[in-house]
Amino acid sequence: MSNLVNTVIIILRDGFAYVYLIYSVINAKISVGEFTLYFGAISGFSGWITQIINQVNALGQASLQISDMREFFELDDVSLPDNPLHVPEDRPCAIEFCHVSFCYGESEGDVISDLNLKIKAGEKLAIVCVNGAGKTTLVKLLCGLYRPRLGEIKINSVNIGQMDRDTLYDLFSAVFQEPLMLPFSIAENVSLKLSEETDRAKVLGALNASGLGGYVEKLPKGIDSPMLKVMEEEGVVLSGGQQQMLLLARALYKDAPILLLDEPTVALDPIAESDMYEKYHALTSGKTAVYISHRLGSTRFCDKIVYLNEGNIAEEGSHEELMRRNGEYARVFEIQSHYYQKSVPEREVM
């Protein structure tokens, strides 16, 4: 909007000046040489003013960003509630949502509405639904990034609202939709710690288990190779599939008792997504895991599947049970599988 206003002002200002010059030449008030001189002077002055306006706008944007950063740094770094509770050392962890409701604003309706859900210790749960039904919100509530409007969320029978933040975060290995790659070494990207605090042997083991170890070993600097080209020109840029392998290595390195996967494979094709989920499943046995996907067939290996609709559980059970019920889950699954089956003959011909 500011650019549009700036353009209109420039057109009005310069247009008036140029019209006046043309009028003066036509009426012999100034010579052609004077017209050329004044025209060049106005153009130069206009460009100078435009640069000043652009720099002022850029300073304004930078000031807003710096203000946000300062406000972030000035936040109270208090991780303990008034009466913090300790989580029992039981591993893996059991999770329970008790009448949980959540909305993003007082004027908006609930995204999650009176939801009750139990996830047994060591259980693999898949949350599936159409876009916008609340699955990502559910995961962020579990992580403590959002607080429920009503109800409570428990881990090993302890309300997460009464846990200190650091203890709560230590319970999760979370992989969200957009892979976060930092302009540091591969080892630091896996451990998410400073180089001197990183267990190099553990990084190598995690990379090998995820399938990325062979690629990293061929790099001149191995796990010390810088990532991205933001800081160094020789920085490593991973493909989409390799990024998913690094995220898996990151989850294996942290070795938290709860694994959360919020559609991390959304950019992959269905076969690659299924393979990646199977790899997560095989390498994270003995953990409680929550898988989120909009492709219903990719999470058939889970112990239980929850189908969300309008912020609550519409159907719950194993894949086979939900298919036998012939409800909404079965309908969506058939639509998706039919779409892929239609493409099979074309692939065979190729």
pLDDT of 81 strictly over 60:
yes
- Cross-strand bridge partners of residue 172: 258
**Model confidence band, residue 21 (pLDDT cutoffs 50, 70, 90):** confident
Cα–Cα distances (Å) from 214 to 207, 219, 245, 328, in that order, read 8, 9, 12, 43
Average pLDDT over residues 23-41: 81
pLDDT of 238 strictly over 90:
yes
pLDDT of 25 strictly over 60:
yes
Cβ atoms within 10 Å, residue 276? 22
178 vs 116: which has the higher pLDDT: 116
Judged on CB neighbours under 10 Å (0-12, 13-18, 19+), 297 is middle
User: How much is the pLDDT for 190?
Assistant: 96
Global pTM value:
0.74
User: How much is the pLDDT for 276?
Assistant: 80
User: How much is the pLDDT for 344?
Assistant: 45
**Model confidence band, residue 268 (pLDDT cutoffs 50, 70, 90):** confident
294 vs 317: which has the higher pLDDT: 317
Alpha-carbon span 280 to 211, nearest angstrom: 11
pLDDT of 93 strictly over 70:
yes
**CATH numeric code, 123-144+159-181+238-349:** 3.40.50.300
Handedness of CA 124, 129, 134, 135 (dihedral sign): positive
User: How much is the pLDDT for 257?
Assistant: 92
Alpha-carbon span 105 to 110, nearest angstrom: 9
Alpha-carbon span 299 to 305, nearest angstrom: 8
| pLDDT tens readout for residues 172-212 | 998 887 888 999 999 999 999 999 999 999 999 999 988 89
pLDDT of 246 strictly over 90:
yes
User: How much is the pLDDT for 79?
Assistant: 58
pLDDT of 232 strictly over 50:
yes
State CA 288 to chain mean position distance. 21
Long-range contacts of 57-62 (CB under 8 A, 24+ apart): 57/2, 57/6
